[in-house]
């Protein structure tokens, strides 16, 4: 196991947190609870689900199951966060729970077994599971933001028509070791 896994995982999680925040920031307050149809989730609902999952998965990971008995997962899909303040408070609470636990982990912890719904996972497996789950939902936030904002959306990636210039800039640099989040942040003109 590379000794830099935990810092790399933290960097990935932080990137997706920032991406979600930049998507949420582009949407008017009134649109946070908008649903494309009754079977779809709003931005606020996705945030509420992520916060519930993060709190459940990352609280007391070595002493309790990752699916806490007080988690009411079904209610996470009730579209009832009334304000941007409530949405952002849920967002911050969830991410803080993840980062507090992540920052306390050591490389030696990666092989320890923790449980999610009584299924044993190494901490490494649990982190990888959530490194897939959280970006999945952040992608939904970005998609909904783009859908809501239409032409007013500011790209959080390489905008259409910008690939050649972006690649030319990258290939003009000498080959070097870097994490993609070191050089570019979402919303930094892309």
Cα 19 from Cα 184, distance rounded (Å): 11
Whole-model pTM? 0.91
Mean pLDDT over residues 141-152, rounded?
A: 97
Going along the chain from its start, the domains and CATH numbers come out as 5-153 (1.20.120.450), 155-190 (no CATH)
**Nearest C-alpha neighbor of 94 from the set 30, 150, 141:** 141
Residues contacting 44, CB < 8 A, separation 6+: 32, 33, 79, 81, 86, 87
Mean pLDDT over residues 109-113, rounded?
A: 97
> DSSP string spanning 87-152?
HHHHHHHHHHHHHHHHHH--GGGGGSEEEETTEEEEHHHHHHHHHHHHHHHHHHHHHHHHHHHGGG
Strand, coil or helix: what is 63? coil
What pLDDT sits at residue 189?
42
Cα 113 from Cα 130, distance rounded (Å): 15
Q: Name the pLDDT band for 190 (thresholds 50, 70, 90).
A: very low
Asked if residue 182 has pLDDT above 90, the reply is: no
What pLDDT sits at residue 179?
77
What pLDDT sits at residue 188?
45
Residue 93, phi then psi, degrees to nearest 5: -60, -45
Asked if residue 78 has pLDDT above 90, the reply is: yes
């Amino acid at each position: 196991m590379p000794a830099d896994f935990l810092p790399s995982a933290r960097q990935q999680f932080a990137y997706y947190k920032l991406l979600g925040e930049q998507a949420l920031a582009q949407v008017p307050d009134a649109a946070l609870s908008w649903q494309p149809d009754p079977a779809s989730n709003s931005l606020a609902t996705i945030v509420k689900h992520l916060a519930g999952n993060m709190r459940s998965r990352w609280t007391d990971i070595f002493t309790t199951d990752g699916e806490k008995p007080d988690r009411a997962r079904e209610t996470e899909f009730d579209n009832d966060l009334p304000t941007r303040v409530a949405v952002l408070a849920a967002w911050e609470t969830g991410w803080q729970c993840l980062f507090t636990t992540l920052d306390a982990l050591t490389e030696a912890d990666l092989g320890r077994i923790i449980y999610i719904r009584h299924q044993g996972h190494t901490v490494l497996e649990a982190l990888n599971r959530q490194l897939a789950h959280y970006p999945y939902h952040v992608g939904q936030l970005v998609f909904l933001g783009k859908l809501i904002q239409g032409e007013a959306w500011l790209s959080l990636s390489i905008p259409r028509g910008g690939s050649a210039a972006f690649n030319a800039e990258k290939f003009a640099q000498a080959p070097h070791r870097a994490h993609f989040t070191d050089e570019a942040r979402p919303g930094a003109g892309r």
